[in-house]
Structure 1
């Protein structure tokens, strides 16, 4: 049994008509739970609609993606906080810092992250972090905030051992996705130096499909390819990996009131 801790299954890259068959395919692959990170104001209703359609399998989270932090970000966050008061969400995210696409919004991204980190602590929910080209900046910010009770997942981990240890010290797991299967992804040099208890699995569907589906639309049904590659890198039996990863997921999403 697998859990996909990060998939945008409500994305417009999937159609409503194909969803029943896609969910059957995901179930057949052994993926029983899918955690849905929000992106912006426009994705909230599609995400909640999907979660309502599959309430035991799809679990919504609330956050503002750093690439969607604009001049109006404070108003956007205010409206999202209203949603948090109205509906049940199991995490805060995805949020964070992205310096790959647009460095000009860096200051706004930092402020938006601070707000959402405070939401996570206040509600005892995991914080789901995106940090493309910004791992050290994100770590520096969170360490300076020194928020007691903060925990969560660094989504799409691509860092080094030192950065991983800083994440762990802050109370975070490392989200391992399709990049682990890429020939030049670099994780083969890092992950064996860490512990199995540090990881959760994710697809980031519809993005970052693992080998052998790289370049195609991703799906939570491809999560076993990620799990198998991680087991091979860590030189552990697949069943032992599956069992520990699920305990890690429970630690993030169930032990803290989610």
Structure 2
């Protein structure tokens, strides 16, 4: 049964190989549950063709970003950045992402990650696009670059926000919305303890599927239809109806992405 809700998943890797055996059914489940807008972050050049294919098949629902993910910043990162630039010059995208710094897996390419992050912020300003930030164990490093690059043209989303209340306020001060997903449902996720102090105008919804499934699916493959569990949690936190959470967060996503 088709839902009347319009819920926006601002961050989902629909091209992931984890969906290869049931992608169509998984997307239909999401649409049936009211999740009808999917914003797709890039990882590196190897996912570009699959992203374009998704857009062709779901032209009313799928909106693409272009960018180089920090954990894919390797020795060939300058070639990858050239790919990002070439694609941006060819066609329309809705954001530069996901970009940022990740010091959880590997610190050896920190300098290259910083260069790639800065370069892609500058591309976003050039194309008047939002950025979608990936941050893992790197708040200080990311805030340092945002401070240097801050301007009225710099705006976007702090994807999968998992920081403190103070870090949330700092992110918002750089014109960033907070991407809230499955972590808000975790007992040890912590962000649920202060989120009610953050005005809902600063929040967008995301799954990061196939990663970071909300309760009760934690540890299993995530998918966009599970975003309703995040909506339910935010409904409890803010004391608003599911419809209000869906409407406000979708409106917030439209302000960021322009659609």
TM-score using structure 2 length = 0.95
- For structure 1, the 5+ residue unaligned runs are none
SS for the counterpart of 2:178 is strand
Is 2:224 the partner of 1:220?
Answer: yes
Query: Shift in Å at residue 149 of structure 1?
Result: 0.6
Distance 1:83 1:41 in 2: 10
Q: Which residue of 1 aligns with 2:18?
A: 13
Distance 2:18 2:151 in 1: 36
Distance 1:179 1:146 in 2: 28
Q: Which residue of 1 aligns with 2:87?
A: 83
Q: Which residue of 2 aligns with 1:155?
A: 159
Q: Which residue of 2 aligns with 1:238?
A: 242
Structure 1 segments (4+ residues) deviating >4 Å: none
Query: Shift in Å at residue 87 of structure 1?
Result: 2.5
* Paired residues for 1:93-242 under 5 Å: 93-242=97-246
Query: Shift in Å at residue 237 of structure 1?
Result: 2.5
Preserved CA contact (<8 Å) 1:121 1:148: no
Query: Shift in Å at residue 100 of structure 1?
Result: 0.2
Distance 2:167 2:212 in 1: 22
Q: Deviations over 1:35-92 (max 9, x none)?
A: 0000011011111111111111011100000000011111110122111112321110
Is 2:49 the partner of 1:45?
Answer: yes
SS for the counterpart of 1:103 is coil
Aligned-residue Cα RMSD (Å) equals: 1.2
Query: Shift in Å at residue 239 of structure 1?
Result: 2.2
Distance 1:19 1:210 in 2: 19
Q: Which residue of 1 aligns with 2:3?
A: none
Query: Shift in Å at residue 19 of structure 1?
Result: 2.4
Q: Deviations over 1:88-124 (max 9, x none)?
A: 2111010000010001111110000001001111111
Is 2:33 the partner of 1:26?
Answer: no
TM-score using structure 1 length = 0.95
